[in-house]
Structure 1
Amino acid sequence: MRNKVCDAVAVARGLLDATSRLDFPVAALVDLARRFAAIEFDTPDAPDADGYLFQHGEASWFSEPAFVLGLVRQLEVEDSSGEHEAYVQVQFEFRYPLDDDLAGAGRHADWWFPGEGKEFEVWLTEVAQSPIVRHVAGKTPRDFQIWQELV
């Protein structure tokens, strides 16, 4: 049975438990993505209806300068006639105080969708080996959030 897209953020939050290792951010994101990907949602049968985004960069919308490191699962929502209505984006996001090292890491965004030639595990391995790993090593996140938005 496939889960409803509207329940995706609750399902994602349920993946966190006492054994979740949030002290290694990129590894934690990869682990959460792997576990979250194993859960099916009621999305259309289209190649871009269920995909992932790995991203990081400076964020200016917080009260203090911040650097965000996150992974997003994007799920398509259809209206009652089967037409595209929106996307639900479930975000796993680490937020760091901005320092010179993180500011120098720049911005990065990398999407993955099934059927685009690269297996999900290969993409996750690339995420786990991203250069950002060395930039966040030894840094303590200010916050970790799981949230969703409709886009």
Structure 2
Amino acid sequence: MSDQPPFHIASTTFHHLLAARGLTVEQLRADTALRLFHTFADVHFESPARPSSDGLRYSVGRGDYVGRPAVALVLARRFGVRRPSGGTERSVEFRCTLWFADDPELAELPACEEWWFHGGAEERTMDRWFDSLSGRPEWAVLRWRHPVGVQVTHTEL
């Protein structure tokens, strides 16, 4: 029996971290969301003991938010779910998506997706990975903007 919390309370944990800072989901901006997600990523949840079982995903891309063109900043954490006999059967992803209204400045942003895995063979530490994200070109545009919407979801993949 693990002393780590089960992955299914990840969303609750994220909301507790948010409340501890006196914030609501609706008050998140890109900069505060990334800092909060870094703290959330430090929480160790129970998941299979293989590198791809607990991964962090960062992506920026275009999409539609309530029927209008928008840019999405996605901070996600994916957990592998154990089979009773061992191994990974499926994945569950916790996702915080910040939606920004489309405008000419955002139209210039390239789409990107980056991953980092707990226990992986990467040379970069998690802290360095987060540092590299905040140094990406989209941060000059997104850092202080207020999103038009924020969604926090927990989805089985």
Aligned with 2:98: secondary structure?
Answer: strand
Say if 2:46 is the partner of 1:38: no
TM-score by length of 1: 0.88
Work out which of the residue numbers 129, 133, 152 in structure 2 matches 1:146. Answer: 152
Displacement of 1:30: 2.7
Work out which of the residue numbers 56, 60, 80 in structure 1 matches 2:60. Answer: 56
* CA distance in structure 1 between the aligned counterparts of 2:135 and 2:22, rounded to whole angstroms: 22
Say if 2:101 is the partner of 1:97: yes
* CA distance in structure 2 between the aligned counterparts of 1:84 and 1:138, rounded to whole angstroms: 39
1:83-121 deviation digits (Å, cap 9, x = unpaired): 311111111111111112112202110111133211101
* Amino acid aligned to 1:96: F
Q: Which deviates the most, 89-98 or 136-145?
A: 136-145
What is the number of residues matched between the two proteins? 150
- Indicate conservation of the 8 Å contact 2:71/2:100, yes or no: yes
Query: Equivalent residue for 1:106?
Result: 110
Aligned with 2:18: secondary structure?
Answer: coil
1:67-146 → structure 2 map (5 Å cutoff): 67-113=71-117, 114-146=120-152
Say if 2:32 is the partner of 1:28: yes
Displacement of 1:138: 4.5
* CA distance in structure 2 between the aligned counterparts of 1:116 and 1:76, rounded to whole angstroms: 19
* CA distance in structure 2 between the aligned counterparts of 1:31 and 1:135, rounded to whole angstroms: 17
* Amino acid aligned to 1:59: G
- Indicate conservation of the 8 Å contact 1:52/1:72, yes or no: yes
Determine what percentage of the aligned residue pairs are the same residue. 22
